[in-house]
């Protein structure tokens, strides 16, 4: 563009370059989104633990971004043996089969033991007390029926972009699941 | 199965049944103690499954984002209202920050998009994609409207700003490279599936959640204290999404101007920007000798850029094995190779030991996976290094370009569109009816200090 030209151009060079760059950027952004959207499912995804891969390492209790972990122990009652000597409830070689703290595995007394009928007891998790440490899950899985297992509770989970526990999970058990089927429960069949 | 039973000997059917049952029990955990048949008619409680947040609410987030971006643009360009932007900031801080816990946010969504592009198996959530593209799309037309009053991180820092200090230009420009480096690192580690470092090291989400890792809570508090005296330290010197917005805003269709109509060169807005984005008018056309020197320097810097790019790529390749260790699988594989011959540990196992036990059960799979990730890093880190070189080169080039600026104007890329400078402009005050029209000539006369700048009559 000749600066001595009698008629200054209606669009300056910088303006022209800027407009061109904007058009290119819009096209680029559109392409990027198109490509990414083709890999989107339109579903929402949430984090969940595959109980079959969980190795009960205890990281769930300590690595959640929430002060109280969103991972809790849940109970598949249909799998439970309702044992009097529950290896998820009692320490190994307990002094007595009662609810005394010295006999219990759970550090926060989050498991309630209620008598059903001789010789069966029902074990219920109080999620407000459970910290997701998996001590009971270890005992139940190793010596019992494996009816206690860890799950991300979605009434508590804030669904982080990247779950902090998933990056330290010793069993690589964390995975994304569709939000309409947000649990991976243990079942009898 | 029943068809088979009809012609196979019975004992083979029994064996088959036993094997099937055995397999079944292996797959679903062993039923060592048979579930009881209660004589009292006790009913088994059901396992509760509290539902996840409904998908409809994700669409609500997107709708709120679009509305907030629209309102921000309107407040910046039509209303020219700082007060309106403050209220919008408060709303965004409460909704996107303290209500939605700062997640999902536009800054972190870079990683979702990067991972989606690199890994076909990853489905990017629709909300993350929207939070990535909408602010950038708005920036291409309306500048950094997102930063002005929609981003909760920006709003938080903007609202705590108390006595802004001027950051020296060399430091400002030097630190201005960091967001691009952080962006590159975030993309590298997200695309390789290693970590979402932008989320892990987010300083303000722990504040929104009122809790988190001590390191990041501390960083957030320090940044907020710093932010009382240095305007928006995270936005200016760290935010990777800000880097993208800056590039988009540079070519935006509309730009923020201090004055609503024309500039009287009164210089009242000179020190109005707490974020160092105000640019003075260019000091005329340099002398021929100086011009030649400037051109030569520009030529050298343009030639230097590819050299920096290659040097960065080389350095990146050198650090590839170290960077790959960020991925937990690679770390586990390396530990497995180190301790391959040691006997299995007994007793109470730490999480790391348990991971090692998992590795020992399927070593081949783990090593193949680690090798695959290392291959990704072997081309990812040179790209990242080259990117840093390119950014430094382009920064140097842009600093040595001659600008034809006639008025005091906010830098297109650096301006957060916070609307603070508007109120410094007497023309703006006249427009609002706060000042009589005569005040402009008085202000211009008062500012007629020795003219350091050649000022053509206010253009446009």
Q: Which residues in chain B have Cβ-Cβ distances shorter than 8 Å to A179?
A: 52-53, 55
The pLDDT of residue B141:
96
Size of interface A-B (CB pairs under 8 A): 192
**What is the nearest CA distance from B331 to chain A, expressed in angstroms?**
11
Confidence of residue B448 (pLDDT cuts 50, 70, 90): low
- On the question of a cis peptide bond just before residue B104, with omega within 30 degrees of 0, the verdict is yes
Which is more confidently placed, A135 or B1? A135
Q: Is the ipTM of this complex over 0.90?
A: no
**Exposed/middle/buried for residue A115 (C-beta within 10 Å: 0-12, 13-18, 19+):** exposed
pLDDT at A2: 44
Global confidence as pTM: 0.88
Q: Where are the alpha helices (DSSP H) in B96-213?
A: 106-118, 126-142, 145-149, 152-160, 169-175, 178-191, 197-200, 205-209
Cβ–Cβ < 8 Å for B126, B61: no
List all residues of chain A from 100 to 139 with a beta carbon under 8 Å from chain B.
116-117, 120, 122, 124
Q: What is the per-residue pLDDT for A140?
A: 94
Q: Which helix (H) or strand (E) holds B441?
A: helix B439-446
pLDDT per position as a tens digit, B91-132: 999 999 999 998 889 999 999 999 999 998 888 888 899 999
Label residue B213 by pLDDT band (50, 70, 90).
confident
Q: Is A142 on the interface with B (CB under 8 A)?
A: no
Say yes or no: A162 contacts chain B, CB-CB below 8 A.
yes
A72 touches B: beta carbon within 8 Å: no
**In this predicted structure, which of B33-47, B140-154, B290-304 has the lowest mean pLDDT?**
B33-47
pLDDT in tens, B394-432: 999 999 988 878 889 999 999 999 999 999 999 999 999
Task: Please report which helix (H) or strand (E) contains residue A136, including its range.
Answer: helix A135-143
> CA-CA distance, B224 to B200, in Å (whole number)?
18
* A94 and B CB contact within 8 Å: no
Residue A60 pLDDT greater than 60, yes or no: yes
Provide the residue count of chain B. 460
pLDDT tens per residue, range A68-100: 999 999 999 999 999 999 999 999 989 998 888
Cβ B52–A120 below 8 Å, yes or no?
Answer: no
For residues A110 and A124, the answer to whether their CB atoms sit within 8 Å is: no
Report residue B449's pLDDT band, with 50, 70 and 90 as the boundaries: low
The number of beta carbons lying within 10 Å of the beta carbon of residue B30 is: 12
Cα separation, A54 vs A137, in Å, equals 10
Q: What is the pLDDT of residue B430?
A: 92
Counting Cβ atoms within 10 Å, is residue B288 exposed (0-12), middle (13-18) or buried (19+)?
exposed
Q: Would you call B203 an interface residue with chain A, using a CB distance cutoff of 8 Å?
A: no
Number of alpha helices (DSSP H) and beta strands (DSSP E) in chain A: 3, 6
Using CB atoms, which residue from B112, B117, B328 is nearest to A167? B328
What is the share, in percent, of chain B residues with pLDDT greater than 90? Answer: 68
| pLDDT in the model for residue B179 | 98
Q: Which whole-number Å values give the CA distances from B301 to A52, B309, B316, B343, in the listed order? A: 58, 12, 22, 58
CA distance B121 to B38: 47
Average pLDDT over residues B333-357: 89
- Weakest mean pLDDT among A156-165, B31-40, B249-258: B31-40
Distance from the B412 Cα atom to the nearest Cα atom in chain A, whole angstroms: 12
Residue A6 pLDDT: 56
Nearest CB neighbour to B354, from listed A41, A43, A170: A170
pLDDT of B24 over the 50 cut: no
- DSSP state for residue B48 in the 8-state scheme: P
| A110: nearest Cα among A78, A79, A144, A153 | A153
pLDDT computed for residue A183 by the predictor: 95
pLDDT at B455: 44
Q: Does pLDDT of B21 surpass 80?
A: no
Query: How far is the C-alpha of B383 from the C-alpha of B188, rounded, in Å?
Result: 9
Q: Which residue has the higher pLDDT, A24 or A15?
A: A24
**B441 falls in which pLDDT band (50, 70, 90)?**
confident
d(CA B215, CA B213): 5
Q: What is the mean pLDDT of residues B188-198?
A: 95
Sort out which chain A residues have CB atoms less than 8 A from B103's CB and list them. Answer: 158-161
For residue A63, give the H/E element and its range: helix A59-63
In the prediction, which pLDDT does A41 show? 75
Query: What are B128-150's pLDDT values in tens digits?
Result: 999 999 999 999 999 999 999 99
Please state the rounded mean pLDDT for residues B272-299: 89
Residue that is written with structure tokens 């960091």 in the block = B178
- Comparing B142 with B443, the larger pLDDT belongs to B142
Q: What is the mean pLDDT of chain A?
A: 90
């Amino acid at each position: 563009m000749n600066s001595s030209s009698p008629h200054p151009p209606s669009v300056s060079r910088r303006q022209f370059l800027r407009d061109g760059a904007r058009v290119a950027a819009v096209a680029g952004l559109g392409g990027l989104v198109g490509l990414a959207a083709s890999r989107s499912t339109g579903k929402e995804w949430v984090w969940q633990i595959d109980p079959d891969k969980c190795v009960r390492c205890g990281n769930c209790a300590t690595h959640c971004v929430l002060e109280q972990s969103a991972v809790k122990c849940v109970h598949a009652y249909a799998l439970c043996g309702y044992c009097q000597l529950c290896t998820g409830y009692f320490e190994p070689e307990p002094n007595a089969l009662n609810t005394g703290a010295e006999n219990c595995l759970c550090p926060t007394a989050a498991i309630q033991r209620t008598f059903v009928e001789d010789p069966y007891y029902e074990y219920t998790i109080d999620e407000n007390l459970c910290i997701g440490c998996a001590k009971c899950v270890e005992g139940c899985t190793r010596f019992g029926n494996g009816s206690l297992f860890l799950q991300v509770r979605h009434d508590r989970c804030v669904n982080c972009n990247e779950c902090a526990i998933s990056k330290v999970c010793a069993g690589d058990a964390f995975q994304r699941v569709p939000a309409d089927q947000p649990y991976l429960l243990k079942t009898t069949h | 199965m029943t068809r088979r039973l009809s012609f196979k000997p019975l004992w083979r059917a029994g064996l088959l049944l036993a094997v099937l049952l055995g397999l079944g029990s292996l797959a679903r955990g062993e039923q060592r103690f048979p579930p009881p048949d209660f004589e009292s008619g006790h009913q088994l409680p059901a396992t509760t499954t509290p539902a996840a947040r409904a998908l409809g609410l994700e669409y609500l987030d997107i709708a709120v984002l679009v509305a907030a971006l629209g309102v921000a643009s309107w407040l910046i360009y039509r209303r020219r209202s700082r007060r309106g932007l403050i209220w919008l900031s408060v709303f965004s801080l409460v909704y996107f920050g303290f209500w939605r816990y700062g997640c999902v946010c536009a800054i972190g969504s870079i990683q979702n998009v990067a991972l989606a592009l690199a890994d076909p198996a990853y489905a990017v959530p629709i909300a993350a994609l929207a939070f990535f593209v909408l602010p950038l799309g708005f920036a291409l037309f309306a500048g950094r409207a997102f930063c002005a009053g929609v981003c909760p991180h920006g709003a938080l820092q903007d609202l705590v700003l108390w006595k802004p200090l001027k950051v020296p230009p060399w430091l400002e420009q030097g630190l201005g490279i960091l967001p691009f480096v952080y962006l590159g690192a975030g993309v590298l580690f997200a695309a390789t599936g290693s970590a979402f470092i932008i989320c892990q090291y987010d300083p303000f989400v722990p504040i929104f959640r009122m809790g988190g890792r001590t390191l990041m809570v501390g960083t957030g508090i320090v940044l907020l204290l710093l932010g009382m005296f240095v305007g928006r330290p995270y936005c200016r010197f760290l935010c990777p999404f800000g880097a993208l917005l800056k590039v988009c805003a540079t070519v935006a269709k509309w730009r923020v101007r201090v004055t609503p109509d024309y500039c009287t060169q009164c210089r009242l807005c000179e020190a109005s920007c707490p974020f160092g984005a105000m640019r003075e008018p260019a000091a005329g056309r340099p002398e021929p000798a100086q011009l030649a020197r400037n051109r030569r320097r520009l030529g050298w810097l343009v030639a230097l850029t590819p050299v920096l790019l290659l040097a960065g790529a080389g350095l990146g390749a050198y650090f590839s094995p170290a960077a790959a260790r960020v991925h937990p699988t690679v770390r586990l594989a390396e530990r497995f190779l180190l301790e391959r011959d040691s006997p299995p540990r007994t007793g109470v196992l730490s999480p790391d030991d348990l991971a090692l036990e998992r590795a020992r059960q399927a070593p081949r799979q783990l090593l193949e996976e680690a090798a695959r990730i290392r291959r990704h890093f072997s081309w990812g880190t040179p790209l990242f290094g080259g990117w840093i070189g390119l950014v430094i080169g382009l920064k140097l080039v842009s600093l040595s370009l001659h600008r034809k600026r006639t008025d005091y104007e906010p830098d297109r890329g650096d301006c957060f569109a916070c609307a603070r400078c508007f109120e410094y402009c007497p023309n703006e005050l006249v427009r609002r009816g706060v000042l009589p029209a005569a005040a402009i000539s008085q202000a211009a006369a008062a500012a007629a200090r020795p003219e350091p700048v050649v000022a053509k009559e206010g253009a446009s």
